[in-house]
């Protein structure tokens, strides 16, 4: 025997009911079944609301009742052929006449007790089960309607009656032995020994099904609903939530206590006592296996699900007078119980100095009042503080039997929360080790759930949420690269990258779901984009509050570099090719690294030097492994190398600089390259990475910008003025060529001092053969002393730089996995 229960959404309309009938027919072929139905979707709510309206003297209940009656009559007409409708239509009309009389009585005497409400509520299931039984007969099934009030005996606690299992089990068994056929049973309702109608409380129809399953020793209980089982987390908050294939009864109970709405704990008890498997199945996706709930807790994932409760407040009861005083907890919880306040979570440190309690926010005022009343004397004597309320909290709970005797679950949980800057206000874990709960701020709830979901279920998968400032040459190339590589990264690296924020110097735009990167509109291209405001940009990034946010700075702006502290403080890692932050004061360079370390986030800037070439990482590895840098000799400017190599072809200097800019090798203002400033910044950063106390003043710079060009107001004006100097550069080149040498703009760092400027090299030097936008870095270290370590390759350009930035972003994705 299998018991199949269908909820209100499964029988909300004819279309759904047809699906239900298909399921019933297929199950019936497999063996004996019995069916339990809820009222048609939404009917019970309307009935109870109408009763309240009548009680308040509001005659609009009549309209609601009429609409309900029409709905049921329509259902009969839709499910049953006209020649068989008459008796069923009469049944419905008689029930609604009874209801009308009943509501008129309530309206007249203005009395609507829980007992009356139970009677009113019973009509929903009586109508649905009767109509469905008749419709099933039409489908050729031997259906017989069973009003559960005939067989489920309860106490007279109306609204939430207590089942008398001994009487009920006998009545059910007797009924099934004496009545053949496919029983179509009303969910939710029962009766007292005196024949008064009662109801079974929240999720009462599930309970009915479990009662029958238990009485009949059913092989299994199938709960058919509108979701495919119990999910790993609330899918409205965690988009990656998925169906849990199997749960133990205990796990299902823990999950449902904290928000998994699919099953209500009490309803499981009868099935659980007899170890009857419960399947949670989706009427609209019957082939989906759904969730099996049974007595097993097989080894597998360390937790099964992450549940949550929002709208929680914390009460802190603090005071020296609590220490080693017997009975304090008894008084606190006694006062709360007397006031009917449900305590969700309790935490008390072993110092006994405080007790922390989580309750529903709606109960805060009364809870505070009764506790303070209970401890009036202690508060007056200063032995205890008035109750401190921390509002707007939420609870996240990791649930799973495999946590038992399995170290690491709480470590992983709090690491994930900490890494994502989620503050934990209180913690509770019982010795059953089935549930670890943490109280967090409500604004952090979604981030916390996603961080935990990723840490426990998708630890191999990671989603990065990028906020990109600067969508010029490099920024645009980066977006294109991410768009092209996304699928491969998802597939092969289990890494997904979404961009949620974009900005240039004038506009900023945001997308909660992430921009469509293949057709990504640039800031300012959408009518509703906002004017760029850096403070607001970071605020919106904070407010979006994603786990794994990343700030990418693809500008050359000092203003943007100045907000790094704020970004790191918010525990958001930074990736940037912008050299401004690291080439500012030595103190700030060090402070930023320290802050990143302190906040446990990465600050990655491989592209600060030589674009995508692995220079910074290599140098960091050398230093970490104990090497010492003796000398760095390097060509660090892709544009300058391009310019001086092209000059060899006899082209005018100003034309070559223009082409270097067009090719994306120069800085936004090419004078940053020609002046040696860009190279100076790079050698400064390399020196600092080599753990030298290098300041900008320690660098001697030879500028290639003629003095009149320096003063040019715009880049265009600069190019106009530069033409007049073409001859000077041709002369420099000829002089070097006459000695068999080539011009290279280079930097040398030695003995704590650096020099940046033009040098000429013959073919015995590695710089001689550099081509195009090549960079070359020679590291002479204690280990690489006789022959320096050499890194060479293109050191400027959109693609190589964007690729370096992209590699840093991917690196972030790979950390902590």
Q: How many CB atoms lie within 10 A of CB 98?
A: 12
Residues 672-711 interacting with ligand LTNE7NMQ (rule: CB under 6 A): 673, 678
Picking from 67, 44, 203, 209, the residue whose alpha carbon sits closest to that of residue 121 is 44
| Binder of ligand NAI out of 560, 575, 747, 756 (CB under 6 A) | 560
| Binder of ligand LTNE7NMQ out of 130, 467, 665, 745 (CB under 6 A) | 665
Residues 440-499 interacting with ligand NAI (rule: CB under 6 A): 469-475
Report, in Å, the least distance between residue 729 CB and ligand LTNE7NMQ: 17
Rounded to whole angstroms, the Cα distance separating 642 from 812 reads 32
Q: Per rule CB under 6 A, is residue 772 in the interface with ligand NAI?
A: no
Alpha helices in 80-164 (DSSP H): 82-109, 114-138
Eight-class DSSP state of 459? T
Number of separate helices (H) and strands (E) present in the chain: 28, 29
Report, in Å, the least distance between residue 606 CB and ligand LTNE7NMQ: 12
Of 55 and 637, the one with the shorter C-beta distance to ligand LTNE7NMQ is 637
Q: Per rule CB under 6 A, is residue 557 in the interface with ligand NAI?
A: yes
Which of ligand LTNE7NMQ, ligand NAI, none lies near 472, with the C-beta cut-off 5 to 8 A by kind? Answer: ligand NAI
Which of ligand LTNE7NMQ, ligand NAI, none lies near 673, with the C-beta cut-off 5 to 8 A by kind? Answer: ligand LTNE7NMQ
Residues 636-655, one symbol each (x = binds ligand NAI by CB under 6 A, - = not), give --x-----------------
Picking from 579, 551, 375, the residue whose alpha carbon sits closest to that of residue 467 is 551
Determine contact, residues 222/288, Cβ cutoff 8 Å. no
**Residues paired with 724 in a beta bridge:** none
Picking from 813, 812, 814, 809, the residue whose alpha carbon sits closest to that of residue 482 is 809
Name the segment binding ligand LTNE7NMQ (CB under 6 A); options: 159-167, 257-265, 546-554, 665-673: 665-673
Determine contact, residues 396/437, Cβ cutoff 8 Å. yes
Total number of residues shown for the chain:
817
* Token pair for 185: 């049973």
Report, in Å, the least distance between residue 298 CB and ligand LTNE7NMQ: 55
Q: Per rule CB under 6 A, is residue 804 in the interface with ligand LTNE7NMQ?
A: no
In 3-state terms, what secondary structure has residue 558? helix
Q: How many CB atoms lie within 10 A of CB 430?
A: 10
Pairing of strands 629-635, 742-750: antiparallel
Rounded to whole angstroms, the Cα distance separating 151 from 159 reads 18
Q: Per rule CB under 6 A, is residue 613 in the interface with ligand NAI?
A: no
Q: Per rule CB under 6 A, is residue 307 in the interface with ligand LTNE7NMQ?
A: no
Residues 753-792, one symbol each (x = binds ligand LTNE7NMQ by CB under 6 A, - = not), give ----------------------------------------
Of 266 and 502, the one with the shorter C-beta distance to ligand NAI is 502
Q: Per rule CB under 6 A, is residue 524 in the interface with ligand NAI?
A: no
Q: Per rule CB under 6 A, is residue 529 in the interface with ligand LTNE7NMQ?
A: no
| Residues 6+ positions from 566 with CB-CB distance below 8 Å | 538
Determine contact, residues 92/98, Cβ cutoff 8 Å. no
Rounded to whole angstroms, the Cα distance separating 19 from 283 reads 7
Which of ligand LTNE7NMQ, ligand NAI, none lies near 637, with the C-beta cut-off 5 to 8 A by kind? Answer: ligand LTNE7NMQ
Rounded to whole angstroms, the Cα distance separating 157 from 200 reads 9
Rounded to whole angstroms, the Cα distance separating 542 from 588 reads 23
Which of ligand LTNE7NMQ, ligand NAI, none lies near 332, with the C-beta cut-off 5 to 8 A by kind? Answer: none
| Binder of ligand LTNE7NMQ out of 186, 205, 637, 741 (CB under 6 A) | 637
Residues 580-609 interacting with ligand NAI (rule: CB under 6 A): 607
Q: Is 682 part of the annotated catalytic residue set?
A: yes
Radius of gyration of the chain (CA): 37
| Binder of ligand NAI out of 58, 70, 98, 559 (CB under 6 A) | 559
Q: Per rule CB under 6 A, is residue 578 in the interface with ligand LTNE7NMQ?
A: no
Rounded to whole angstroms, the Cα distance separating 613 from 794 reads 8
Q: How many CA atoms lie within 13 A of 780 on its CB side?
A: 12
Q: Of the listed 2, 281, 447, 682, which one is catalytic?
A: 682
Report, in Å, the least distance between residue 515 CB and ligand NAI: 15
State which residue has the least CB distance to ligand LTNE7NMQ: 639
Rounded to whole angstroms, the Cα distance separating 18 from 23 reads 9
The residues annotated with a catalytic role in the active site are: 682
List of residues contacting ligand NAI (CB under 6 A) = 469-475, 503-505, 532, 534, 554-557, 559-560, 577-579, 607, 611, 638, 664-665, 667-668, 796-797, 801
List of residues contacting ligand LTNE7NMQ (CB under 6 A) = 637-639, 665-667, 673, 678, 795-796
């Amino acid at each position: 025997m299998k018991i199949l229960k269908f909820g209100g959404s499964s029988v909300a309309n004819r279309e759904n009911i047809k699906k239900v009938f298909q399921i019933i027919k297929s199950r019936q072929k497999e063996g004996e079944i019995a069916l339990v139905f809820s009222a048609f979707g939404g009917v019970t709510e309307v009935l109870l609301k109408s009763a309240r309206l009548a009680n308040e003297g509001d005659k609009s209940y009549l309209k609601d009742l009429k609409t309900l009656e029409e709905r049921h009559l329509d259902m009969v007409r839709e499910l049953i052929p006209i020649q068989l409708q008459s008796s069923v239509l009469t049944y419905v009309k008689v029930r609604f006449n009874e209801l009308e009389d009943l509501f008129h009585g309530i309206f007249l005497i203005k009395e609507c007790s829980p007992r009356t409400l139970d009677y009113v509520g019973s009509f929903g299931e009586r109508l649905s089960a009767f109509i469905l039984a008749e419709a099933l007969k039409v489908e050729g099934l031997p259906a017989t309607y069973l009003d559960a009030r005939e067989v489920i005996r309860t106490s007279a606690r109306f609204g939430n009656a207590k089942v008398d299992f001994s009487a009920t089990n006998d009545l059910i068994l007797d009924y099934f032995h004496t009545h053949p056929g496919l029983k179509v049973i009303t969910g939710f309702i029962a009766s007292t020994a005196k024949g008064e109608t009662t109801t079974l409380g929240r999720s009462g129809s599930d309970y009915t099904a479990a009662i029958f399953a238990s009485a009949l020793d059913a092989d299994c209980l199938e709960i058919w609903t509108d979701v495919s089982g119990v999910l790993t987390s609330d899918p409205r908050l965690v988009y990656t939530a998925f169906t849990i294939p199997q749960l133990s009864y205990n796990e299902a109970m823990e999950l449902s206590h904290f928000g998994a709405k699919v099953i209500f704990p009490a309803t499981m008890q009868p099935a659980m006592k007899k170890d009857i498997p419960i399947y949670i199945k989706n009427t609209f996706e019957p082939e989906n296996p759904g969730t099996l709930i049974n007595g097993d807790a097989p080894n597998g994932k360390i937790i099964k699900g992450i549940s949550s409760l929002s709208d929680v407040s914390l009460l802190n009861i603090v005071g020296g007078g609590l220490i080693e005083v017997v009975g304090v907890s008894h008084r606190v919880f006694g006062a709360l119980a007397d006031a009917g306040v449900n305590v969700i979570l309790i935490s008390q440190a072993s110092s006994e100095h405080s007790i922390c309690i989580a309750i529903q926010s709606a109960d805060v005022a009364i809870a505070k009042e009764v506790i303070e009343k209970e401890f009036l004397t202690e508060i007056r004597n200063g032995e205890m503080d008035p109750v401190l309320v921390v509002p707007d909290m939420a609870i996240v709970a990791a649930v799973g039997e495999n946590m038992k005797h399995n170290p690491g679950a709480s470590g992983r949980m709090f690491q994930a929360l900490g890494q994502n800057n989620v503050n934990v206000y209180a913690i509770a874990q019982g010795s059953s080790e089935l549930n670890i709960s943490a109280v967090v701020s409500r604004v952090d709830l979604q981030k916390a759930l996603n961080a935990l979901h990723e840490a426990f279920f998708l630890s191999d998968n990671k989603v990065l949420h990028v906020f990109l400032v600067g969508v010029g040459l490099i920024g645009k190339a980066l977006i294109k690269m991410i768009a092209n590589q996304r699928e491969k990264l998802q597939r092969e690296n289990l890494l997904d990258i979404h961009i949620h924020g974009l900005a240039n110097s004038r506009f900023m735009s945001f997308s909660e779901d992430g921009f469509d990167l293949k057709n990504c509109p640039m800031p300012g291209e959408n009518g509703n984009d906002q004017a760029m405001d850096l403070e607001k940009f970071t605020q919106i990034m904070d407010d979006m509050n994603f786990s794994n946010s990343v700030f990418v700075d693809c500008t050359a702006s000092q203003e943007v570099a100045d907000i790094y502290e704020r970004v790191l403080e918010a525990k958001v890692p930074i990736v940037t090719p912008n050299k401004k932050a690291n080439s500012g004061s030595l103190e700030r360079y060090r402070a930023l690294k320290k802050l990143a370390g302190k906040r446990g986030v990465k600050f990655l800037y491989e592209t600060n030097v030589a674009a995508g070439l692995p220079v910074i990482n290599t140098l960091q590895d050398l230093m970490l492994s104990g090497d010492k840098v003796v000398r760095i000799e390097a060509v660090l400017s892709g544009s300058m190398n391009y310019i001086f190599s092209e000059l060899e072809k006899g082209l005018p200097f100003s034309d070559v600089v223009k082409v270097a800019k067009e090719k994306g090798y120069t800085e936004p203002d090419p004078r940053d390259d020609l002046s040696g400033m860009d190279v100076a910044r790079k050698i400064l950063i390399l020196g600092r990475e080599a753990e030298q106390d290098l300041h900008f003043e320690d660098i001697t710079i030879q500028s290639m910008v003629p003095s009149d060009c320096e003063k040019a107001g715009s880049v265009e004006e600069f190019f106009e003025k530069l033409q007049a100097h073409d001859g000077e550069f041709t002369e420099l080149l000829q002089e070097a060529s006459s000695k068999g040498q080539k011009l290279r703009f280079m930097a040398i760092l030695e003995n704590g001092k650096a020099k940046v400027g033009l040098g000429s090299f013959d073919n015995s030097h590695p710089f001689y053969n550099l081509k195009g936008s090549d960079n070359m870095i020679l590291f002479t270290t204690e280990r690489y002393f006789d022959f320096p370590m050499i890194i060479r390759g293109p050191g400027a350009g959109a693609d190589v730089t964007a690729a370096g930035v992209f590699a840093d972003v991917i690196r972030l994705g790979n950390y902590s996995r």
